[in-house]
Amino acid sequence: MDYRDRHVVVTGGTGALGRAVVDKLIAGGATCHVPALNEKEIQNFPSRDHPQVKISADGDLSDEAAVARLFGSVPQLWASIHIAGGFAAAPVAETGKADLMRQVDMNFVTCFLCCAAAVKAMKNGGRIVNVAARPALEWRSGAGMAAYTASKAAVAALTVALAEEVAKQGILVNAIAPSIMDTPANRQAMPKADFSAWPKVEEVAATIVFLASPENKVTRGAIVPVYGRS
C-alpha cells in the first residue's frame, strides 16, 4: 500500500494490533499520529522514536477536548483508524451501570468522537476504519459479555450509518470484526486454546491497512469479518 505523504491517526496504536498496523503504515510511507494514555505506554511503544511516528500522551479519547486536540494537530488527514477500546466479561445481572458505561465509553464513545473529528478534518476525502468485534455480528456469542457486545454492536451500526452519510464527500467508512486474535495476552488468558486457529495481528492489520488505503476505491459500509479459522 502506498501511503507516501499521507497522515494517518491510529488510536490504540500502542497495543498489539495497533503496533502491527503502525508497522505496515510506516512501511507504506505514512506518517502515523498515535495517542497514548500515559508516559509508560509511550516508553513501551517500540516505534516511539521513528521519524514517521508522532506520539502524544493526551490519549483519553472519551474526552471531546482531547480528541479535538489530537485531530487538530494532524495536517491534511488522510485516514483515521480506531482500534482503541477495552474488554470486560460479566453476566448482565452482575454488571452495574458504572461497568456498562465504562464499556460504552471505551468502545463506542471513543469511536464516535474520533469519527466525528475525522470527518471534520478530511477536506478532500479520506478513509475511516473502525474496529467492531465478532459478537457485534453474532450476538448470541456475546453471552456473558453483553455490555462489551452491545458497545461493539454500536460501533458496527455507527460505521454503516456514517458510511452512507459521508459517501458523497469522498470518505469511505468501514470496520473490521475480529474474533479472538493471537496475542500474548490472549494466550495467557486462554492457555488451552488452539492458538493456530486464531488470526494473527499482522493478518488483521493487513485488512485494516487496505481499507484505509487509496487502493480501496469502492468499499464502504462494510463490517469485515476477520476470523481466520476460529
Is 65 exposed, middle or buried (CB count within 10 Å of its CB: 0-12, 13-18, 19+)? exposed
For residue 94, give the 3-state DSSP assignment.
helix
- In whole angstroms, what is the distance from residue 42 CA to residue 162 CA? 31
148 in active site:
yes
Identify each DSSP E strand in 43-143 by its residue range.
Answer: 53-56, 77-82, 126-131
Closest CA to 23 of 54, 55, 57, 46: 46
User: How far from 24 is each of 36, 172, 177, 191, 194, CA to CA, in Å?
Assistant: 19, 20, 19, 29, 26
124 touches 75 (CB < 8 A): no
Q: Which of 45, 78, 148, 198 is catalytic?
A: 148
- In whole angstroms, what is the distance from residue 74 CA to residue 169 CA? 19
Active site residues: 148
